[in-house]
Each structure stands twice: as structure tokens, then as C-alpha cells.
């Protein structure tokens, strides 16, 4: 099991992007965000609470997320985060720029392999 703490292995700012993406689907609490990140990434992305919660609070303070206390299916009170209009716009621009960057990195790596061959 690889423990990816965002400070070391996730590129800077990536955790924020991933959180915004998960929250964009539907309002969700912190624990569920961690679970979903792990499931969707097939256990590659594991975010420890020590990174997740500060990130959530930071995003909330920047006005990208909003939160309310609601009851979960199991009947417990949890803090649900949802995306604000500003958060949506941020997510769109960040996603686009991430895609561009990933594509560019991919191109370079492919070319380098061809060069070696």
C-alpha cells in the first residue's frame, strides 16, 4: 500500500483539485471524501486526515466550499461540504490546466522514450 501524502507525492495543489472534483458530484462529508478518493483511484491516493481537513478548511475560507451540518444515512451528524459558484469556476479552470499539463508531460515522456529507442 502506497501512502501518498499530498505534501510529498501529490503535486502541489492537486489535493485541492481532487477534493473539489469529489464535492462537485454531490455534497459530502470529510470521511466520505477520503473513502471516495481511495476507491476511485484504486487505492493509489490515500489522504491522511492530517492533510485532508486542513485542505477542506482552507478551501472553505477561500470561499470555494461551503459547509452545513446534516444527518448521514447512519443517523450521525456530519459536516457536509458543497461547492460554491466560485468553487465551480475554480474547478473548471484547474481541471483544464491540469489536463493541458498532463498531456504536455505525456508528450515529452513519449518523445523521450522514442529518442532512446
Residues lying near another protein in the complex (CB under 8 A) are found at 29-31, 34, 48-50, 53-55, 57-58, 61, 69, 76-79
| Cβ nearer to another protein, comparing 31 with 41 | 31
The continuous run of DSSP H or E covering 81 comes out as strand 77-83
Q: How far is the CB of 90 from another protein (least distance, A)?
A: 16
Q: How far is the CB of 94 from another protein (least distance, A)?
A: 18
| Cβ nearer to another protein, comparing 24 with 32 | 32
Q: How far is the CB of 97 from another protein (least distance, A)?
A: 23
Contact 52, 30 (CB under 8 A): yes
**Cβ neighbour number for residue 65 with a 10 Å cutoff:** 23
Sheet of strand 28-29: strand arrangement? 28-29, 77-83, 65-71
| Cβ nearer to another protein, comparing 26 with 103 | 26
Rounded to the nearest 10 degrees, what angle do helices 49-61 and 30-40 cross at?
A: 120
Amino acid at each position: 500500500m502506497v501512502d501518498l501524502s499530498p505534501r510529498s507525492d501529490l503535486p502541489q495543489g492537486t489535493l485541492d483539485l481532487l477534493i473539489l472534483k469529489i464535492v462537485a458530484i454531490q455534497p459530502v462529508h470529510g470521511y466520505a471524501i477520503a473513502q471516495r478518493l481511495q476507491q476511485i483511484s484504486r487505492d493509489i491516493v490515500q489522504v491522511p486526515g492530517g492533510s485532508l481537513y486542513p485542505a477542506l478548511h482552507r478551501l472553505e475560507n477561500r470561499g470555494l466550499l461551503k459547509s452545513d451540518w446534516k444527518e448521514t444515512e447512519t443517523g450521525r451528524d456530519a459536516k457536509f461540504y458543497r461547492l460554491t459558484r466560485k468553487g465551480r469556476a475554480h474547478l473548471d479552470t484547474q481541471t483544464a490546466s491540469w489536463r493541458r499539463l498532463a498531456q504536455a508531460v505525456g508528450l515529452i515522456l513519449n518523445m523521450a522514450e522514442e529518442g532512446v529507442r
